C-alpha cells in the first residue's frame, strides 16, 4: 500500500477515536465566555465602584421575565456534562488540567450549591426584583449585577467586610429595596455557579484538545519509530486538519513528543 494511503488510514482511525470526545464536549457546549474576573480592588476601591455603579444603573419600569432559573438549569446541565467528560478522561488515562481536576474532585459540592440555589430561588422570585435596562446585565436583577461585580473584583472570592462596604456605598447613592438585600446571598451563589459554568466550558474544550493532541502525538511517535521519513507527511496531514493550537493542545502535543525520537525534532519545532 502506498505510504500516503497508510498515513491516510491512520488519520481516519485517529478521527474515529476522538469523535466521541468531540461530540461529548461540543454537543451542548456553547462558545467560551470570559470568567467573572476583573481588576482586583481593595475594600476602599470597592466603595468607589459601588457608588459608580449606583450612578450608572438604569432600571426597567416594569417587571421582566425570570431569566435566572433558566440559566441555572442550563448551568446545571453543562456542569454535569463536564463532570461526565472528565470522569471518562480519567478512566481512559487521559491527562486533565488542574482546573479539571478541581472540578471533578469538588463536583459534589457544586451539586449541593445548585440544589440550594434552586430551593431559595422559587419560580417568579426574580421578577419581583428591580432589573437593569442597560449594560451587560440588562434584563437581570440589579442585585445580581452587584453580585457578579463583587465576585469579578474579588478574584472569584467574596469577603464579607468588603462586600458590606460595597453595598453600603451603593446604597448611599441609590438605596436597595428590602427584597434585594434579602436576595444578596442567593445572587452571590448564582453568580459563583455562573463562574463555574464558564470555567467548565474551558475545561471541556481543553479536555478535547488534550485528547486530540495525545492522539496526534501517538501517531507521530509510531511513525517515527517505524518509518521516520514519513513523519513529515503526518505533520503535513495534521496541519491540513486545522488543529486548535490552543495552549492545552500545544502543551500536550509537545509533552508527548519531547525526548522520544530525533525524527520528532521537526514537528516539535513546528509546534513551538
* Angle in degrees, CA 182, 167, 160, rounded to 5: 80
More confident residue, 208 or 50: 50
CA distance 253 to 214: 6
pLDDT (tens digit per residue) in 204-248: 888 778 888 888 888 888 888 877 887 788 778 777 777 777 788
**pLDDT for residue 27 is more than 80:** no
* Lowest-confidence segment of 21-35, 39-53, 69-83, 162-176 by average pLDDT: 21-35
pLDDT at 32 over 70: no
Dig out the grid coordinates for 67 from the structure: 431569566
Burial 48-66 (b: 16+ CB within 10 A, else e): ebbbebbeebeeeeeebeb
Q: Residue 150: its pLDDT value, please?
A: 94
CATH of the domain at 187: 3.90.1200
As a whole number of angstroms, the longest Cα–Cα distance in the chain is: 79
Q: Quick: pLDDT tens for 80-91.
A: 988 998 898 888
- Least Cα distance to 193 among 115, 272, 98, 92 occurs for 115
Task: With a cut of 60, say whether residue 25 has pLDDT above it.
Answer: no
Report CA dihedral (234, 203, 33, 166) to the nearest 10 degrees: -150
**What is the per-residue pLDDT for 188?**
95
Per-residue pLDDT tens digits for 103-133? 999 999 999 999 999 998 888 888 889 999 9
Please report which residue ranges of 106-177 form alpha helices under DSSP H.
Answer: 107-119, 142-152, 160-171
Take residue 16 and report the three cell numbers written for it: 474515529
Spatial contact of 92 and 210, defined as CB atoms under 8 Å apart: no
pLDDT at 171: 97
Distance of CA 103 to the CA centre of its chain: 11
Q: State pLDDT tens for residues 241-271.
A: 777 777 888 888 888 777 666 667 766 666 6
Q: Is 53 helix (H, G, I), strand (E, B) or coil?
A: helix
Q: For residue range 54-83, list pLDDT tens digits in order.
A: 999 999 988 888 899 999 999 999 999 889
Q: What is the pLDDT of residues 146-205, one digit of tens each?
A: 999 999 998 878 888 999 999 999 999 999 999 999 999 999 999 999 999 988 888 888
With cut-offs at 50, 70 and 90, classify the pLDDT of residue 18: low
Identify each DSSP E strand in 10-75 by its residue range.
none
Rounded Cα distance, 192 and 196, in Å: 6
Q: In three state form, how does the secondary structure of 224-247 look? A: HHHCHHHHHHHHHHHHHCCCCCCH
Residue 156 to residues 45, 87, 107, 113: CA-CA distances in angstroms?
17, 25, 17, 15
State the pLDDT at residue 94.
Answer: 77
- 138 CB-near residues (< 8 Å, 6+ apart): 132
Cα gap 232→64, rounded to integer Å: 59
Q: Has residue 21 got a pLDDT over 70?
A: no
More confident call, 135 vs 7: 135
Q: How far apart are CA 231 and CA 269, in angstroms?
A: 13
Sign, Cα dihedral of 230, 232, 233, 239: positive
- pLDDT attached to residue 189: 95
Q: How many residues does the chain have?
A: 272
Structural domain including 108 reads 3-271
Provide the pLDDT for residue 26.
Answer: 53
User: In this structure, what DSSP letter does residue 122 have?
Assistant: -
- Structurally, how many domains does the chain consist of? 1
Which residues, 6+ apart, have CB-to-CB distance to 44 below 8 Å? 165
Q: Which three cell numbers stand for residue 19?
A: 469523535
Decide if pLDDT at 38 tops 90.
no
Amino acid at each position: 500500500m502506498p505510504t500516503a494511503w497508510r498515513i491516510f488510514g491512520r488519520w481516519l482511525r485517529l478521527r474515529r477515536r476522538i469523535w466521541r470526545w468531540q461530540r461529548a464536549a461540543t454537543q451542548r457546549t456553547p462558545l467560551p465566555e470570559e470568567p467573572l474576573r476583573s481588576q482586583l480592588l481593595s475594600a476602599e476601591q470597592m466603595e468607589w465602584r459601588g457608588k459608580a455603579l449606583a450612578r450608572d444603573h438604569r432600571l426597567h419600569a416594569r417587571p421582566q421575565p425570570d431569566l435566572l432559573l433558566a440559566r441555572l438549569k442550563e448551568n446545571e446541565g453543562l456542569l454535569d456534562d463536564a463532570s461526565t467528560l472528565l470522569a471518562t478522561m480519567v478512566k481512559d488515562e487521559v491527562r486533565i488540567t488542574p482546573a479539571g481536576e478541581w472540578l471533578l474532585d469538588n463536583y459534589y459540592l457544586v451539586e449541593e450549591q445548585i440544589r440550594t440555589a434552586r430551593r431559595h430561588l422559587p419560580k417568579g422570585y426574580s421578577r419581583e426584583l428591580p432589573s437593569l435596562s442597560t449594560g451587560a446585565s440588562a434584563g437581570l436583577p440589579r442585585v445580581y449585577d452587584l453580585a457578579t461585580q463583587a465576585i469579578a473584583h474579588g478574584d472569584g472570592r467574596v469577603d464579607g467586610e468588603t462586600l458590606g462596604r460595597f453595598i453600603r456605598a451603593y446604597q448611599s447613592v441609590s438605596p436597595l429595596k428590602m427584597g434585594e438585600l434579602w436576595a444578596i446571598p442567593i445572587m452571590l451563589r448564582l453568580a459563583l455557579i455562573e463562574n463555574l459554568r464558564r470555567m467548565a466550558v474551558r475545561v471541556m474544550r481543553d479536555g478535547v484538545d488534550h485528547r486530540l493532541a495525545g492522539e496526534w502525538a501517538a501517531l507521530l511517535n509510531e511513525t517515527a519509530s517505524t518509518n521516520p521519513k514519513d513523519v513529515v507527511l503526518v505533520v503535513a496531514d495534521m496541519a491540513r486538519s486545522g488543529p486548535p493550537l490552543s495552549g492545552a493542545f500545544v502543551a500536550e502535543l509537545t509533552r508527548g513528543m519531547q525526548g522520544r525520537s530525533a525524527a520528532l525534532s521537526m514537528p516539535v519545532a513546528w509546534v513551538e
